[in-house]
Amino acid sequence: MPVPPPGSSPAHFSNLPPPTNATPAQLREYERGRWNHFLVDEAWRRTRFNAQPNALLTETIAGLTPGQALDVNMGEGRNALYLAQQGWQVTGVDFADQALLYAQQRARELGVLLRTHAQELAAFDWGTNAWDLVVLCYADDEAHVAEVHAALKPGGLLVFENFHAEVNAAWNTSPTKQIGFDTNYLPQQYAANGFRIVRYEEPVGPADFTRETRRLVKLVAQKR
């Protein structure tokens, strides 16, 4: 998931430093707690987070026959829940375990089924020719071309939305922690790896994640 800009959280948790001399395991738990807070905290959700399904996703699946969908770094489940309500069989992965519990509670309230995996993405098995749809909406700062290509069935679709790399200047991001994607990077990478580019845009508009008006990257690609 993209790193929230400094000062963007309405609560104190984001300002707490990681433990001094933390071990790798302690740092992972610190990050897990941080993301659980961002994704479930009511003040964040009310002021800095779009709780509605991603518009690019809703436009892309309109009229499609529901199938198997994978939501990568799904957070509290806004997109996964929408897909499930449209008849898709949805699996989501995220290391923010409390956010997944939130998503499962909402699924029960809505009467839909979600399969969720509370684990770090690096340890998750995306599968091979397993999915009709893969969703990467503000998931992290990787293109995941190889993983998506292996995971999608032939003819399967990728829906990808995130920040353009120019957000780094606005957020004064550390040179070692750059986020977002450069102009045309995503379509070039996916086209070079066996995908048909169905749609690509770099609009300036409200980001689903943080609600700030920024340049975004929006990609829909189909595995050949």
Residue 125 exposed, middle or buried by CB count within 10 Å (0-12, 13-18, 19+): exposed
49 part of a folded domain: no
131 part of a folded domain: yes
Residues of the chain with pLDDT under 50: 6-14
Range of the domain at 120: 55-223
Task: Give pLDDT, residue 34.
Answer: 81
Task: Give pLDDT, residue 2.
Answer: 60
91 part of a folded domain: yes
Give the β-pairing of 68-72 and 131-137. Answer: parallel
Task: Give pLDDT, residue 11.
Answer: 39
pLDDT one-digit tens code per residue, 50-104: 889 999 999 999 999 999 999 999 999 999 999 999 999 999 999 999 999 999 9
189 part of a folded domain: yes
Contact 79, 71 (CB under 8 A): yes
201 part of a folded domain: yes
Q: How many domains does the chain have?
A: 1
Contact 171, 6 (CB under 8 A): yes
CATH no. for residue 147? 3.40.50.150
Task: Give pLDDT, residue 50.
Answer: 87
- Alpha helix stretches (DSSP H) within 153-213: 167-171, 185-191
As a whole number of angstroms, the distance between CA 212 and CA 128 comes to 36
98 part of a folded domain: yes
12 part of a folded domain: no
122 part of a folded domain: yes
Q: Is the pTM of this model over 0.85?
A: yes
